[in-house]
Structure 1
Amino acid sequence: MNFSSAEPGSIASAVARGFGSWGGGRARQLPFGRNLTHFLPGVAPVQQLIGANADTAVAVVGMSAYPMGVEITLEIRLRHGSGPGWEPTLPGGWEHGASMIVPFAVRFADGRTASSMPWPREFAWPAPGRDGVELVVSGREVSEPEAGPRAVVRYWLAPLPPPGPLTLLAAFPARGLQICETVVDAAVVRAAAERAVVLWPDGLALPCPGVPPADPEAADEQIRAAFTTAFTGGQGGSDPAAVAAATTATLAAIEGGEALRPLLEQVRSAHPDMVRTARPSIDDIVFIDPGHAAVRFRVHLGNGPDFGEQIGFAVLTDTAAGERAAWKVAARTYRKVVGWGGVY
């Protein structure tokens, strides 16, 4: 079956059958490692209609180019009074009406393609993240002004397209808009990227150093050990007793760890492969005061997205009766990391 000739209902059924609730009910966001706030982008003068019919239109209305990629702004408009509600960027999962989704894809001049979401193999549609091309939702705005429903959706595309034609594809099955496309000269995008202005050096800024603890070297060692223990997945292997012991050690490395046990169990259940392959790397540590430190770190996921460089925190826990104080991963930092998996 070809997507361009399929009925909207059959598309919805096949997508729901093939993918269930892919996406976890959340649009994927711009990867945290892309420090776009450190740049003023070069603006590519692009405003082109991708496709339209009697009551539906999809257009690209802007491109903001950076050295590492381009943010594409898509606008979706419905003629006033022309139909029911819609879901332009998969906020509710495939089972909530796949034909109401507006898929978006790109094709580079060298043949590489990528899509913002997966579609069944029987449809002629690019795969997401294929060929090293990244295309993810980075923001959206949906409104219903008097002129008719309108959605603005931003997509992050990386890397920059190579010279030649950059093809943009979209569709809106629920409203009879089949696969349509428009072509942009990638030279316009690449020229805009050259006009981007660097505001600050790349990398997240650590706080200014404060008063360090009495033994900063020992504290540094404890903090690195705590982050390594807290964010290393797959500890204990397949032995239940070893896994239980590793879980206890993981929670002991986190501020108020035992209270966070449900979060750890939830993220393990929801994303077993990503958790199993998680490996942290710890870079700089800055002491804010004798009991608090800021940590520059990353968590590498062998089977998941790259969330990039992070700034987390470590705290010196209060001394309990008969126990020595210990540096641990701050609870808010742990919550932030497991939040990548939709667990809060």
Structure 2
Amino acid sequence: MTGRLLLPLLRLLFFFGRGHGRGIPRRAGMKRGAVRGTLPGMGFFDRVPPPPAPEPPEPPRPRWERPEAQLGAMVTAGLTLGRSGQAAVGVGGVTAYRNGFEFSLLAVMREQDRRDRIFRAQHRHSVAEPLEPEFLRIGVRFADGRVATNLAEDQRFPGPDDDFDGPLLRQGGGSGDGRRYETSYWVWPLPPPGPLTLVCEWPAFGIGESRAELDGRAVRDAAEHAFDLF
């Protein structure tokens, strides 16, 4: 009885002995217990790939863009640009920077329009189509006669080697509801001394061509007080 049980036990020991010792091959030169994929003398975290190459430097900002890290100086707190019995357009404030100035603009209706036409005040679908009366026209005139408007065909963004000297009128972001709309405009470059004229027209709401005048010298003087945060 003991011999009959001993023989299968010896066979099992022989089988597992082959699998553990000679049945599983090892790579040449690899010590027993070494982790595969690791060279001798190399730490585990030495396998982490090196950091990527640094990003190339950002190209310089176009000379006509508003500075990102500059605090401008206030020129005026606000003024009325145009008004009718149905609506009004006002400039909330003018801020001067070293290369231009920015003004906020508020268009408000006396009563909410059920057709929500105010939402078409700043959005023109195509330059090939006639201007809609709901589109709020905005323009600026320098003392030397140069003019810029928010009409799409007037927009031009000069390149770094372009000798274009402006002016350029660029609209910023906006928000509003069924009665009012707020936005901002960036004007490049700084105006020359003399009259600086802002112009608006809003035919759908009875506002004909209306003007408000600022002092170009005051804008330039305020720009000297703008400063960079870093």
Answer 1 or 2: which has greater helix percent: 1
Match of 1:136 in 2: 170
Q: CA deviation at 1:35?
A: 5.5
SS in 2 for 1:98: coil
Runs of 4+ in 1 over 4 A off after TM superposition: 94-97, 127-131
- TM-score, normalised to structure 2, is 0.62
Deviation digits for residues 278-308 of structure 1 (CA, Å, limit 9, x no counterpart): xxxxxxxxxxxxxxxxxxxxxxxxxxxxxxx
Which one has the largest radius of gyration?
2
Using the alignment, how far apart are the partners of 1:160 and 1:198 within structure 2?
Answer: 17
Using the alignment, how far apart are the partners of 1:131 and 1:187 within structure 2?
Answer: 18
SS in 2 for 1:161: coil
1:88 lines up with 2:118 in the alignment: no
Q: Is the 8 A contact 1:44 1:64 kept in 2?
A: yes
1:269-288 alignment runs, 5 A limit: none
Deviation digits for residues 98-142 of structure 1 (CA, Å, limit 9, x no counterpart): 2111010011111111111157xxxxxxx5459621111122122
Q: Tell which deviates more after alignment, 129-138 or 33-42.
A: 129-138
Using the alignment, how far apart are the partners of 1:128 and 1:71 within structure 2?
Answer: 17
1:149-298 alignment runs, 5 A limit: 149-200=179-230
Aligned partner (choices 87, 99, 104) of residue 68 of structure 1: 99
- The CA RMSD over aligned residues, in Å, is 2.3
Deviation digits for residues 131-183 of structure 1 (CA, Å, limit 9, x no counterpart): 62111112212224xxxx11112111000111111010001111121111110
Task: Indicate the percent of aligned positions where both proteins have the same amino acid.
Answer: 31
Using the alignment, how far apart are the partners of 1:65 and 1:88 within structure 2?
Answer: 26
Q: Is the 8 A contact 2:91 2:105 kept in 1?
A: yes
Using the alignment, how far apart are the partners of 2:109 and 2:177 within structure 1?
Answer: 11
* Greater RCO (Cα-Cα under 8 Å, separation 6 or more): 2
Match of 2:76 in 1: 45
Match of 2:133 in 1: 99
Letter in 2 for 1:177: I
Using the alignment, how far apart are the partners of 1:96 and 1:195 within structure 2?
Answer: 42
Match of 1:112 in 2: 146
Q: CA deviation at 1:82?
A: 5.0
Q: Is the 8 A contact 2:76 2:95 kept in 1?
A: no
Using the alignment, how far apart are the partners of 2:155 and 2:197 within structure 1?
Answer: 15
- TM-score, normalised to structure 1, is 0.42
Q: CA deviation at 1:93?
A: 3.8
